[in-house]
Structure formats: C-alpha cells, structure tokens
Amino acid sequence: MHLIIAEKHDAAKRIAQILAGGKPRSQRVAGVEAFQFDDKVVLGLSGHIVGMDYPPAYNNWQKVDCKELIRAEIVVRPIQEKIISALKSLGREADRVTIATDYDREGELIGVEALKIVQEAKPKLKADRVRYSAIVKDEIIKAFQDSGAVDYDLAASGEARQIIDLVWGAALTRYISLTSGRLGKEFLSVGRVQSPTLALIVDREKEIQSFVPQSYWEIFADLEKELRVQHAKGRIWDKEEVDGIVSRLGPVGVIRSIECKKRIDRPPTPFDTTGFISAASGIGLSAANAMRIAEWLYTNGFISYPRTDNTVYPPSIDLAGLTRLFLKGAFAEEAARLLQGKMQPTRGKRSTTDHPPIYPTAALERGSLKEDQWKVYELVVRRFFATLAEACVWDATSLKVDIGPEPFRASGARLVEAGWRYFYPYSKAEEHILPALENGERLRLLGHSVEAKETQPPARYGQGKLIKLMDDLGLGTKSTRHDIISKLYARAYVQGNPMRPTNTAYAVVDTLERYAPTITKPEMTQTLENDMTLISEQKIKEDQVIEKSRVMLTSVFDELTSNQGGIGESLKDGLRTDKIVGTCEKCHSDLIIRRGHRGSRFIGCSGYPECRFTLPLPRFGTVVVTDKSCEKHAMSHIRIINKGKRPWDLGCPHCNFLEWQAKKAQEKAESPGAEAKPRNKKRPATRSGKKTKPEAKAEGDGLVKLPGIGPKTLEKLVAAGITSSQELLVARTKALSSKTGLPERP
C-alpha cells in the first residue's frame, strides 16, 4: 500500500480526487477520515501533530528559576492523538510513503514529524517527497511524477525555530510576568520576534506624542478659465514673508511656460506574501484574516501557495493559457482585453525557487464564494492581470505663472492609456485637467487665499505597513508575521488599526529598552533568522544555532537579573496606569480595574474604604482600557478580548450598568412577577459574566442604588433574606458572611 500524507484534511481530499481521476473511497482509520483508491491511501494531518514542550517538572512558574529554562530538557509531545494512531496503523500496512505537505520550512517539518511516526511503526519504510505550488490537476500529477527526497535540513531549520522560540518565549515571559506580578490569564508575554515588533509600534507612538508641529502657510490664487495656482515656494514658514508676497500680487497672471510630457506608470510586480497582505490591508482585511482566506483558497485549488517570497513568475507557468481560463465568467472582458496585448510580465526584486508568486489557478463566479473570500480571490486575479498588462500613460502638464513679481505654478494630468489600471482599480490616480492655455497669455486675478497649516506627526502603522517593515528588518518570516501581529492584539498590547499601543505595551517595552535592550532590537532576531536559513543550506548545524541562541539568552538574563528591582518597579508603575478607567464621580479618586477574592473583576475606587463606588465587569476575557472616553461620565470605554472571538466593545462601564438597570426595570414594569429571559446581546456586564436573576432584582430594589452593591452581590443578599438597606444595616456581619459567602470586610 502506498501512503500519501498531506498537511490538512481538505488538501488530502483534493489530492486524492485529482490522483484518482474521480471520487475516492472514504474510510475511517482510528477515527480519522482517509481517502483510498487503487493501492493508495491519502491521509490529511492537522498541521503539527506533535509539539515541543518542557517536562511537567517545569510547569510551576513560582518554583522553577526562569533561567533554568534556557538549558532545560525539551521533549516532543503528541498533540493529535487520533492522527498519530492513524499514521501508525497505516504505516504498518504501507510499503511506500510519500510526503505531500506544503513545501516550505514549516511544511517540511510537519512532514518529517509524520514520517518519523510512520517509520516507528515500520522501520526502513521507503519515503519520498512531492513538491507543488498549487493544488490543481496538472501540477499535482507532475509533482507525483517527479518526486524527490525529503529535505531533512529544511525540516531541521524549522525545528530549530520551534526550540528557539519556545526557550526565549517561555523564559522571558515567565521572568517578566513574575517580576511584574501579572500571572494567570493576564500574564505578560515576551518573544524573540514579538518584542522587537512591539517596540516598533511603541517607538512610533512616542514619535507621535513628542512631535512638535510647525506652522506654515500656502498661498493660492484663482485666475480666469477656472485656473487655480499655488505659489512656487509651496510651504512658507514665515508669516511676514506670506504677507509680503500677498502685498505684491498684481491684478493679472501671465503664463510664462507650459511644459507637456508623457508620464509612465509601470505595472505592479507579482504578489509575494508581504505584498499580498499589504494590498489586502488596503481593502479592509486584517493580516491574519487575509492569510486565513488565502490558505483556504489555495487548499481548494483556486489560487497558488500564498506563503512565498518570490516576485518573478517562473517560465514553467503558461501565463497566456492561464489567462484564457477567464474568458468565460466574471472576468471575461478583462481577460479578452489582456490577451490582445503583449502580456509581458513584470519582475520584482526577489526570485526564489521554492514557490512562484501568488496567482489564480481557477476561474470562479462571484456567487461561488463568500463575500470576504471573493474579495481576496478578486484581488489575486486582478493583481495577476495587472502584472501582465501594459503601462499606464498620462499626459502631464507643468505650468508656470507670474502674478506681479511672484511665481506661481500648477500641474495637471490626463489619462491617455489606462493600461494596468484598467485591471487593478485598487490603486487610484485621479485626472486633473488644466484649461487650454498659451505662453504669454494674460488671465485676470479673481482672488487669492492663504491657508494656514501645520506639519503632521508620522502615521501609526497599519497592519500592512508593519508587515512590510518587519520584512525589511528581517523580523519573522512570511509564514509567521501575521501570527505575531495577532498575538499583539490577543495579549492586549495594541488596539485599533492603525495600531496604537496600550499602556501595558509601553510598560513592557520601556522596561526592556532600559534594562535589556537586546530583546527589543531587530539585530538579535535577524541573526538567528539568517542562521536558520543556513541550516537549510547545510552551512551550519541545527545544534550550533540552538546553542548560539542559548548563549545570547543567557547574556540577556544577566542584564535582567542584575536590574531585577528596577524592572519590577518600572513594570508595576507602568501597568497600574493601564488599569485606570476614569475618575470617581463621588470622591474624585482614580477608578481602577480590580479583582475580587474569588476571581471576579470589577471597577473599584482607589479611595476605598472611605469610598465604596464599584461597577461590574465580565469575569472572562482580557480587559482593554481604550482611548475613547464617555462624555457623560468621563470614563474610558472598555473592550473585552476573548481568544478566537470578535472583540466585545462594552463601551462606558457606567453607561453599560445603567442601561442594564433600566432594562430590568422596564421588564419588571411590563411583566410584573414574570421571569423574562434577557437576550444574550443585551447581557449585563456583571462581575461573574452571568445574568442576574430578575426576581433577585425585583426583591432587592432597595439595595440597587447602594454603592458597592453589584448584581451578583445583590443576588446573594436577596437569597439570604436581605431586601432593603435597613435590613442590611441591622444584619449581623458574621452570620451574613456565612450565609452568602461574602467577606465580612470588603
């Protein structure tokens, strides 16, 4: 039996259909679906089926010295038990195995992991490797006809990355979290690529905050024939100079020169991963979402492999034949027009041999895909067309005008040939048509204007621009950069797009830059990235690179441990500001996010115990204090981040609580005595994250307005027979505590 191993289930199914020339037979092996035809069985993995980790003895953060993790034993653990069982079962029956995972560093490692398991079941089993860039008939058949050897060096470079990232991430994350006192679900993550990337965002924000705008002025004049011109100096920094220019303007503008020439806009280069993510960001897709959709399109045979550094089409791709696929369907008009031209492809600066640039591999109709899937597919199709199209040609006009002794200018552009812009509407360029004029022509001055402006700070990084910068600096790889950005959002280090760092990000980066700057600089991770590439090229051994990284990390820890007191103080001071939501309307102290005795969260006054004002918060998710503020309560809006879910914008916590109270009161008025179930989307943000029982609210109306009585506490008090402020006042503290589980003193 010939066992074929693909990276994912959908890829396995499609490869089996292509090789079988029809529908293969589905069978279950150890609970995992496999596809059989002739003497072949195709099994899909689920990415990595084993993972790197420390032995259980290292799991206790408080008991294990963080520095021990640098040289601690690392073990391989199964993470997909059923698939491993299926591999062993099929391996015992196989007489040949073919690795058909994605062809890159990660895919090679995934394939080797699976191969080792199969060969444990049947040693010396013959193995080969197929490489392809699109899951389409011609390419898959050709790949299986030209199979080669498994690239163990490429897999070793991927394994080195796993080990290095585990060691750096675990050791530094534990150290910073323990030193700051931020444990549990709110731990502070630090990583070899993540931290220098975060430093880029924080440093840019510092540039913006420290930016001092400079005033300048621009002078415009309106002439006959609807001609608007600007003073030739452009920005003028001195107001007295502006006033002098205006005072010298005459009543007539004289055309001194008209220069017309052709301007050529070259077509864009083919998509590599970085270019694709940047373009997808421009149409409103996050880096992670764009890659997720692109990978789905690839697995289903609609586009080529989306993880590539290549910007040059290889000669093996029949570009004209590929374009002819689109002569029917949504892009029929564009394809027909393109085929009439020269179809000379553009070439980018990077040419690699692993995968071609991203290009479409099948013609689809809009209705066959979901909206976001179509947006990504259409982007890839149109970029492909644009790279084969001719240049865009403009008639550009440059005009010089004298108004009195003062020189003015204007420029215009008229589109002559749309070229590639016809196919690729994402890059906009507007025409500006100047009136027909002649040298020496005199035009009456109709008026002038002086516009006062200020220089602007540098822009924040959008996800597309940050991906490009990471690529330029050698931070991460084409396969990991979008995941790094997702982690920054998940850990509440950044918010919004363009990205704005939270106070937590400031605290971590400022502390690291002061006491262990190596972690925040790109040079360290650049060095390791280059070394991992050298592993795949057989120029250095995996063990040497891992040892080099451990020496580097040991040096970092020497810096950290010698400054532990300062690091702890710096982190705690910085992190405290990220918990301040606003100012208490009762005593004007800070309102801070706090945790209760049993893990519940709430907003409490820092003036406690004199002031007992509180507001409830959901129990689960990471709480992010945003920069948006409530005009009524002067409190920052809250966002809740739960892994794998869309962020929940709770808004102003005070407004949220008042809205919930009003809703409950309305329900009581409309249905006296009824236990109406509130809808999920209107769920109040109670400390437990659960809804408060309507009957508890109804019976405890006398307690609702008391400071410090949240919905959950209210429910417990009502259950204990306390339904009014008077009953609470005369209740015995100890007895009440034993009934409700509430502390005697908050």
> Higher-confidence residue: 695 or 307?
307
* Proportion of the chain above pLDDT 90, given as a percent: 64
pLDDT of residue 622: 77
User: Of 159, 2, 23, nearest to 91 (Cα)?
Assistant: 2
**pLDDT confidence bin for 632, thresholds 50/70/90:** confident
Q: Is the pLDDT of residue 55 over 60?
A: yes
Give the domain range for residue 652. 579-740
How many domains does the chain divide into?
Answer: 5
Under 8 Å CB-to-CB from 438, ≥6 apart: which residues?
255, 258
Give the per-residue pLDDT at 569. 82
DSSP 737: H
- Domain presence at residue 73: no
Higher pLDDT, 579 or 52: 52
Per residue in 60-91, pLDDT (tens digit) is: 888 899 999 999 999 999 999 999 999 999 99
User: Which run of H or of E encompasses 252?
Assistant: strand 252-265
- Inform me whether the pLDDT recorded for 684 exceeds 60: no
Q: What is the pLDDT of residue 562?
A: 84
Per-residue pLDDT band at 144 (split at 50, 70, 90): very high
Q: Do 316 and 406 reside in the same domain of the chain?
A: no
298 is catalytic: no
Confidence class for position 232, pLDDT limits 50, 70, 90: very high
pLDDT of residue 720: 62
Taking alpha carbons only, the member of 633, 639, 681, 686 closest to residue 655 is: 633
Confidence of residue 156 (pLDDT cuts 50, 70, 90): very high
Region of residue 404 (phi > 0: left; psi between -120 and 50: alpha; otherwise: beta)? left
Give the pLDDT score at 711. Answer: 65
- The answer as to whether 60 is a domain residue is no
Is the same domain home to 113 and 145?
Answer: yes
Say yes or no to pLDDT of 352 above 80: no
Q: What is the CATH number of the domain that holds 28?
A: 3.40.50.140
What's at 70, amino acid-wise?
I
What integer pLDDT is reported at residue 350 of this predicted model?
A: 82
Q: Do 724 and 588 share a structural domain? A: yes
Percent of the chain with pLDDT over 70: 89
pLDDT number for residue 737: 61
Alpha helices (H) in 389-462, listed in sequence order: none
pLDDT in tens, 353-404: 778 999 999 999 999 999 999 999 999 999 999 999 999 999 999 999 999 9
Residue-wise pLDDT for 285-316, tens only, equals 999 999 999 999 999 999 999 999 999 999 98
Q: Does the bond joining 498 to the residue before it have cis omega, within 30 degrees of 0?
A: yes
Q: In this structure, what token pair is assigned to residue 156?
A: 């070793």
| Beta pairing partners, 401 | 255, 408
185-194, 619-628, 677-686: which range is least confident on average? 677-686
The answer, yes or no, to whether residue 738 has pLDDT greater than 60, is no
The answer, yes or no, to whether residue 702 has pLDDT greater than 60, is no
Q: Which residue has the higher pLDDT, 161 or 734?
A: 161
* Residue 720 structure tokens: 């204990």
**Eight-state DSSP code of residue 104:** S
Is residue 66 a contact partner of residue 75, using CB atoms and an 8 Å limit? no
Alpha carbons 428 and 418: distance in angstroms, whole number: 11
Q: What is the CATH number of the domain that holds 569?
A: 1.10.460.10
pLDDT band at 617 (very low <50, low <70, confident <90, very high): confident
pLDDT band at 596 (very low <50, low <70, confident <90, very high): confident
Radius of gyration of the chain (CA): 32
* Alpha helices (H) in 300-354, listed in sequence order: 319-324, 332-339
Top-confidence range, 382-391, 572-581, 622-631 = 382-391
Name the residue with higher pLDDT: 744 or 201. 201
377 neighbors 328 (Cβ within 8 angstroms): no
- Please tell me whether residues 198 and 338 are part of one structural domain: no
The dihedrals phi and psi of 471, each to the nearest 5 degrees, come to -60, -45
**Alpha-carbon span 169 to 174, nearest angstrom:** 8
Rounded Cα distance between 520 and 552, Å, is: 13
Same domain? For 492 and 632 the reply is no
478/624 same-domain check: no
Q: pTM of this prediction?
A: 0.80
Residue 71: inside a domain = no
pLDDT digits (tens, 9 = 90+) for 313-333: 999 899 999 999 999 989 999
Mean pLDDT (the chain) is 87
Contact 574, 188 (CB under 8 A): no
Domain assignment present for residue 59? The answer is: no
Q: Report whether 43 contacts 4 (CB < 8 A).
A: yes
> Residue 10 domain-assigned?
yes
Identify whether residues 104 and 238 lie together within a single domain: no
Mean pLDDT of 231-259: 96
Task: Please identify which of the residues 54, 175, 305, 422 carries the catalytic annotation.
Answer: 305
pLDDT band at 698 (very low <50, low <70, confident <90, very high): very low
Whether pLDDT at 724 is above 80:
no
Looking at 516, 540, 574, the residue that finishes a domain is 574
| pLDDT value at residue 149 | 96
Q: What are phi and psi of 78, to 5 degrees?
A: -70, 140
H or E element at residue 215: strand 215-223
Sheet holding 2-6: strands in order across?
25-29, 32-37, 40-44, 2-6, 96-100, 127-129
Helix (H) or strand (E) holding 510, with range, is helix 503-515
Are residues 35 and 110 located together in one domain of the fold? yes
Both 608 and 698 in a single domain?
Answer: yes
Decide: 386 and 337 in contact? Cβ < 8 Å: no
607 and 564 together in one domain: no
Confidence of residue 676 (pLDDT cuts 50, 70, 90): very low
The answer to whether residue 52 is domain-embedded is no
Domain boundary residue among 524, 546, 574?
A: 574
Do 521 and 586 lie in a common domain? no
Q: Across residues 653-669, what is the average pLDDT?
A: 83
Judge whether residue 576 has pLDDT over 90.
Answer: no
pLDDT of residue 683: 45
Looking at the structure, do residues 356 and 489 belong to the same domain, yes or no?
A: no
pLDDT for position 693: 44
Instruction: Report yes or no on 332 lying in a domain.
Output: yes
- Those residues whose C-beta lies under 8 Å from the C-beta of residue 33, and which sit 6 or more positions away, are 9, 26, 27, 44
DSSP readout, 117-156? HHHHHSTT--EEE---SS-SHHHHHHHHHT-B---HHHHH
Judged against a pLDDT cut of 70, whether residue 564 lies above it is answered with yes
> What's the confidence (pLDDT) of residue 43?
96
Tell which of 361, 388, 415 closes a domain.
Answer: 388
Q: 3-class SS at 727? A: helix
d(CA 88, CA 321): 43
Ranges assigned E (strand) in 45-195: 50-53, 75-78, 96-100, 127-129
Q: CA-based angle 45:47:48, to the nearest 5?
A: 105
pLDDT digits (tens, 9 = 90+) for 501-536: 988 898 899 999 988 888 999 998 889 989 999 999
Q: Are the C-beta atoms of 195 and 512 separated by less than 8 Å? A: yes
Look at residue 75 and tell me if it is in a domain: no
